[in-house]
Amino acid sequence: MTSKSKFRRKALTGAALAATLAASGPAMAQGKAAAGAPSEEAVRARADALIAQMTPEEKAGQITQYFDFTDSPDEARRVTDEMAAGRAGSLLFVHDPAELNRLQHIAVEKTRLKIPLLFGFDVIHGLRTIMPVPIAVAASWDPKVAEDGQAVAAAEARAAGLHWAFAPMVDIARDPRWGRIVEGAGEDPYLGSAMAAAQVRGFQGAYIGSAGRIIAGPKHFAGYGASIGGRDYDEVNLSDSELWNVYLKPFKAAVDAGAGNIMSAYMGVNGVPATGNRWLLTDVLRKTWGFKGFVVTDAGAAFDLKTHGFAASTEDAGVRALSAGVDMEMAPPFGQSAFKTLPQSLAAGRITTAQLDDAVRHVLEAKIRMGLFEKPYVDLKQAARVLADPAHREVARVAAERSAVLLRNEGATLPLSRSALKSVAVIGPLADSARDTVGPWVFDQDDKETVTVLAGIKAELGSGVKVSYSPGVTLPARVNKSIFQSDEQFAAGKAQNVDDTPELARAVALAKDADVAVLVLGEGQIMIGENASRSSLDLPGRQQELLDAVIATGKPVVVLLMSARPLDLKGAKPAALMDIWYPGTRGGTAVANLLFGKVSPGGKLPYSWPRDIGQLPLPYAHLTTHQPKTVEERYWNEPSTPLYPFGYGLSYSTFAFSNLRLDKTRVARGEAVPVSVEVRNTGSRKADEVAQLYIHQRYGTAARPVRELKGFERVTLEPGQTRTVHFTLRPEDLSYWAASTRSFVQDASTFDVYVGDSSAAALSASFEVAG
């Protein structure tokens, strides 16, 4: 889908990177004063001066974004002609700096008004330096990891000539069958909000237009993660209570952090397509939240208002999207642009000049804030330097280390002792796959830059320990083609007919001859992501057979899961089990550091891990209902509880929580409640723990969930060290949207507080909000 960059990339020096990250304070809400940023008045005046000179056709073009179809000469020519006529405002999927300059030259030098193009790209978890996938970063429970990673991504993107990321994806996902769970922060709105805000700060810096930063584009507004059955692109039906209390919260956090763009979703929400939903895009986003940036559709979502059976025609689709609050149409391909019909709708009186101008103004203001009129071109030498600095790779390594979640560690199998090992068998189809190690949404993969798990283990052990390797089995081909596969790649995958039996037997033999077997199992990167929902949580192909056979050897087995959704191991119990997700460019180095104890895993699950697929969805924040004592008996054939609860994760050390204190046990509405707890490292290793605070409101205007996350902090403790962790329960943490009043309320009620290492925390106290 993309052209390959011609540049071997270099990045900021370590000192410059540190300075860049340190300068990333809280993002300013767009339009507010920030040092170095132009005033809102000056930006608007400049935009209005341009709008006054534009024809309706130029206005419609300015709010249209075209794909860069490098593999379709006819399509590319049509788009280029539109650019030369001043009828294209943005392009996406261009990331070669030289090509960006060529295209920008057309817009800046060849058009009547010389308005530069805005270049967007799917910078989801890195451009050249690939961070762990977003769900992995959420598992770090460390917003700084998210912020630092996206600051690196922004630095590389801006150096390459990009201005805008279609990220972060902040959709809540409570059904792991949905493939796009990989792009978000999991099931919880509080954790999701923290990660959303951190990523916006990382992308944008202190204000839109900050040096080395780009515009953040939170998506998909709103509710996309609740598609029926976890089926991508399917409809969404959510109560208003779920919308306000769960699915909208991360978007609100992103807007409050200053996000300059919002992407509307493809699908219908309660019967109304999100891209034509004025209540969402205008009433909520602009009027209630005060959003001042620009709204872009997801690919083809305006044109597809007709496909939904919502709009009567392409012209009607353009009118309804613009009227709902869309400012820019992402319009692939050229012949499927709804906004191209806006001039004739204006002439027919179906839209007003003011409506059209508002959308154009939002887009022009973004270009002005980004400084594109002053500096439209890429410095090619600077791009080559910025896109390859080792400091960026170090950020990726640390992120991968902090994201890993240790789920099982019987008999302290991990960390492995180098001195006690003579041989290690590394087994699995993902153990030495560079492309799978970095995960989905990577368009400029360089295998030489990526450290696989096998390579990381070999580098760590050197020549003193024998490392044998077998893929064991192959991953099966998809039934349908991934949007990230070419026709040729899909056909080649379907045509493969490999008999795994000989290699599986060889893998088992290697395990028998080794001191320990390290199995790297999971899903290939084309098995997760957009257009990659799945009706099963089983290990694909014959991986389960491989796992069972290796465990049967009696040798210690360490399983590393490379996935983004919980997988069903069918009761298999390896000695150790760690979720390493898709760990990114330096994933293998990070995994080796974790395996051999250079660092201790401290990540926590960002979702509940079901026992099997029949339990889904299984959010921890459920209501008590009228039979709370039987909550674990909802199914007669197995417990209704998860295999691993939300927030769960082990360490190479142990921790104790004690002395939970509430500064106030009775407060009035609107008052905060300070909370503190002591966390002690009771083990013998330096390690991290995540202190998690949950609340339960006993009664009120509506029934509330049994537990809701309202605070967390990741702390590093030396052996024997105790630290007091402080939280503050704010009035907004004690408020919620009630269906009975159709408004946010804070009730007079009794609240239970739980603090510990997961959503199953036992340490508790209570306080009262007085009427």
Which residue is catalytic, options 298, 304, 389, 757?
A: 298
In 3D space, the residue among 647, 441, 622 whose CA is nearest the CA of residue 528 turns out to be: 441
Note whether 562 and 430 are within 8 A (CB). Answer: yes
| Rounded-to-integer distance, Cα 660 and Cα 202, Å | 33
Q: Which residues contact 394 (CB under 8 A, 6 or more apart)?
A: 14, 586
- The secondary structure element, H or E, covering residue 77 is helix 73-84
Point out which residues pair with 268 in neighbouring strands.
Answer: 273
What is the rounded CA–CA span in Å between residue 746 and residue 734?
6
Q: Cβ distance 261 to 216 under 8 Å?
A: yes
Return the sign of the alpha-carbon dihedral for residues 574, 576, 582, 585: negative
Of 608, 529, 540, which Cα lies nearest the Cα of 564?
529
**Dihedral sign for Cα atoms in the order 225, 230, 231, 235:** negative
Helical residues (DSSP H) of 387-452, grouped into ranges: 390-403, 434-438
User: Which residues are CB-neighbours of 63 under 8 A, at least 6 positions away?
Assistant: 89, 327, 328, 329, 339, 359, 360, 363
- Indicate the SS3 state at residue 187: coil
Cα–Cα distance measured from residue 645 to residue 364, given in angstroms and rounded to the nearest whole number: 47
Q: Tell me whether residue 42 is exposed, middle or buried, using C-beta atoms within 10 angstroms of its C-beta: 0 to 12, 13 to 18, 19 or more.
A: exposed
Cβ atoms < 10 Å from Cβ of 296: 30
Identity of residue 627 = Q
Tell me the C-alpha distance between 334 and 224, whole Å: 26
C-alpha torsion angle, residues 594, 599, 600, 601 (rounded to 10)? -60
β 405-409/423-427 pair status: unpaired
Alpha carbons 181 and 169: distance in angstroms, whole number: 9
Give the phi and the psi of residue 693 in degrees, each rounded to 5: -115, 130
- The residue among 353, 360, 356, 285 whose CA lies nearest residue 318 is 356
Known catalytic residue at 148: no
Question: Could you tell me if 752 and 698 are in contact, meaning their C-beta atoms sit under 8 angstroms apart?
Answer: yes
Q: Look at residue 82 and give its three-state secondary structure.
A: helix
Query: Exposure string (b/e) for 21-34, b if CB count within 10 Å is 16 or more?
Result: beebeebbbbbeeb
Measured distance CA(660)–CA(725) in Å, rounded: 10
Question: Is the bond preceding residue 220 a cis peptide, omega within 30 degrees?
Answer: yes
**Helix residue ranges per DSSP H, 114-205:** 134-139, 143-160, 189-204
423-427 and 516-522 as β-strands: parallel, antiparallel, unpaired? parallel
The closest alpha carbon to 201, from 341, 338, 43, 20, belongs to 20
| Paired tokens of 398 | 């640390």
Catalytic residues: 298
